Amino acid sequence: MKIRVKLRKDKFSARRGGGSKVLDIYCKRCNNMIMIYQKDGHGRLERCYMDRIIYPSGYQSLEELICNDCEAVVGEPMVFKKHGENRPAFNMIQNAFRKKASTHVEIR
């Protein structure tokens, strides 16, 4: 599966240093792929913003981020309000997921 995407470049990515990368996020318990995510800036992955989730689409409501296979909770819903932002996101549980550079995305 290859998904063609254009990386988002907006005021949020500029605020975080401008560099972006695409990550595959997996459940640490069962190794199921949970999402493909555009990470802006450097540093560890603490939050996944709804508008940066590439695949699967459909994360509109703020419910817990749960693995579809083993039902482990991977992220808690939150609204990020620093710097005048008001962005729905998942606060990622650090020992519940693993990430790696995506091989499922073709950047255009």
What are the residue boundaries of the structural domains of the chain, listed by start? 3-107
pLDDT category at 25 given cuts 50, 70, 90 is: very high
Q: Which helix (H) or strand (E) holds 99?
A: strand 97-101
CATH number of 3-107: 2.170.150
Q: What is the DSSP letter of 82?
A: G
The model's pTM is 0.83
Rounded Cα gap, residues 88 and 105, in angstroms: 24
pLDDT tens string 49-83: 998 898 887 776 678 999 999 999 999 999 999 87
